[in-house]
Chains A and B, each alone.
Chain A
Amino acid sequence: MLTQGKFGAYGGIYVPETLMPALEELESAFLRSSKDPNFLREFRDLLENYAGRPTPLYHAKNLSKAWGGKIFLKREDLLHGGAHKTNNALGQGLLAKAMGKTRIIAETGAGQHGVACAMTGALLGLKTEIYMGEVDIARQQPNVYRMKLMGAQVHPVTTGSRTLKDAINEALRDWITNLQDTHYLLGTAAGPHPFPTLVKFFQQVIGDEAREQIMALRGSLPEYVVACVGGGSNAIGIFSAFLNDQSVQLIGVEPGGHGLNSGKHGAVLSKGTPGCLHGMKSRVLQTMDGQIEEAHSIAAGLDYPSVGPEHAYLQEIGRAKYESADDQEALAAFQELSCSEGIIPALESAHALAFVKRLCAGASSSPNVLINLSGRGDKDLAEVMKHVQTL
């Protein structure tokens, strides 16, 4: 490898020997393509004309009034596919083509990344196979159907907790077996180097646009930038543009599940400890023996017992803070954005909203907050209907 991909003590490469050549090949393709004007032009073109970038920055006045803040939403929910995942899938899809791969595989939790890959596979003519935990298949049916409609094959994963973590295991096993013709299109800023770095590269468009848009709109930076954190890709995408703006507080919101002391949550940065999973060193939820524990969240896309290594690092150096919102708070915020603004957020994004509600309630003067609205909630209706019977 030419680069290390370390974020302080976190990140790096911890994979079986057989995967090393694939990671070396990916690193060299990424180093080449990320400086290649033709590659970048093609990526930009797809983002603009296929996916609909730039996405708007919207001043949510009704919600601001209700909660007592100045709330701006970066509308990744309006991106083609319904979530920020499209940015990364298109970028890595082009990279797969550049490497001469004919097949892409991916894990998915909420199904948004699976959908983004299915779109990309259809668009670029790549055979697409998606690994998805059985539990997630049951709670994200519409997305499973969308993937199939766009020609992807969906493999149910029946091992372990049957959620995102296990889908990643299966995708890695597939990759180990088929690395010659296959690119593993990992969906979040986690996993072995170079994934955290290249996913951030493809997602930083969110932060770059948002920073420009809010400067144009208000003439000043926000006090807070808030995003939900599963593996950490939408968060690192929006944080990246503000890392050097010391006045801006960066806050990642993890899933509190049934509560931080319930043992049923996915708050890895609040409750986890340093460890090694899925090819990287980061923080993980684990037992004393290092067995990985199951995460829990009402939002399938946040149901992951580790987190991207750069977040572990940003927390350690104090540049970003990580809070949590539990299932109930997320459900409430889901409904509040829906009725106050007519925008149905993804349950994942609702965690960021829920935290901001708390932030506003505790603030003496109304804070300026930029929220990454990472996706839309159409996929979540069946799940929400289970929990919220009366409207």
Chain B
Amino acid sequence: MIVDSCIDRQTRMPVAKAYLTRLGVALDAVKLVVVTHWHDDHMRGAAEIVREAGAARFACSAALRSEEFATLLACGAESMTSSMTSSSGIDEFRKILDALRQRRARGVPAANAGPDHWATHGQVLYERPARDGVSQARVLSLSPSAATVTRALRELGQLLPQEGEPKRRIRQGANQVSVALWIDAGYQRALLGSDLPAGTGPSGGWSAVLSSSTRPAQRARILKVPHHGSQSADEPAIWTEMLEAEPWAVVTPFASGRTPLPTEADLKRLIKRTPNAYCTGRPQGWSPVRRQPAVERTLREVARSRRTILGPVGHVRLRYSLEAADPTVELFGGALKVSA
């Protein structure tokens, strides 16, 4: 399965595609593609994956199955204003729908021409029974909650442009509609936190996951730390109720925005919870391209901060047998172990 997507700046290829190709795994073998939410940083190259992983089910947040989101997609097409190379999540999603439409045109049954798998809490996105000596596997979505979907629709409605309003790039909505995933394979379980926030009441975010009756009773040994390790997505109870002691935790940095994530404080908090914490890259971004001296001098005077937001691809690989052994950890690119 492939969850979310980003692009390797050097090869311009979706990272998951490049990785599977290196392993000699054809994209045809992929069973499930999940886009956890429609933010730019989780979607680049996702349409290429959906196009090429032709046999995979496509699943996304149930909040996107709405007239509001369809209208937003159309408005995005209508307001293409910039030649910016990095397409927005909205543009990418439109390309995904094109790829799905082509699947239907080729006669692929509707069940796999989806997205018929609308992720909400407690939804089974993929299931394979144990057979031929291979253990069972199951992928479950833990969010968004029904209340969150309703709130998200209202928010999507507010993002729609109004008559007379100047055209701009469509803004991104909040992270609340993110799809957190639970993977069950053999004796191993992983919790992929997406960008799901902690949640302010029992009806949203991690609070809703924790209070849901459909939440799996077991504990996971592997965690994709939610929302790039940020404080806003930190829910202490997932460590005590959904994870084994000292789980393997992987953070993906987000070097864009006012506060690049994770911050020093975020990493300190993480390392207190588990000694097995890893990060796929440098959290603070990369030094900007050096330009000719006169330009550098002007930039130093004018820009309060400057950084390159995409560095070389970092990769934390956790591999384990389906028996209960601990995973082996391998680090590639700029990936690193978080230490105190």
Do A and B pair up? The answer is: no
Q: Which A residues contact B (CB, under 8 angstroms)?
A: none
